[in-house]
Amino acid sequence: MPITDNLRNQVSAAADSVYEETVNLIADLIKIPSESPNYLYTPIYQERGYTEMYDEPVTLGGEKKVAEYLKPVMEALGAETVMEAKEPLRPNLIGIFPGSGGGRSLALNAHIDTVPTGSHEEWR
């Protein structure tokens, strides 16, 4: 299916309508400490000051907090969700957006842990 100017404009308008909400969601996500707990012992993290950015050391469970934050967001968008974990504090959040009428489904795959690159003042 060719992408028409009309379709391009519709997609652009839809993206513009959720821009601020998307930026706020991403800002909230990066505020959740979710690095590997071993980061405290990695020299590059210490050199860049990342280990000083939190009141408490990061421990296992940050990835779970991010997944728990995203679960209702995905469900509000129509996804069926499930969390599967080999390690209880490091689950994978699986979201399935069913196709209409038994058609194709959409699967998304991404890392949800984040590593800060600046100070808290730079985050929204």
| Of 49 and 95, more confident | 95
Between CA 67 and CA 59 the distance in angstroms is 15
The pTM for the full model equals: 0.68
Is residue 22 within 8 Å of 108, Cβ to Cβ?
no
Indicate if the pLDDT at residue 120 is higher than 50.
no
Q: What is the pLDDT of residues 64-102, one digit of tens each?
A: 888 999 999 999 999 999 999 888 878 889 988 887 777
| Of 53 and 107, more confident | 107
Q: Which residue pairs, CB below 8 angstroms and at least 24 apart, start in 6-14?
A: none
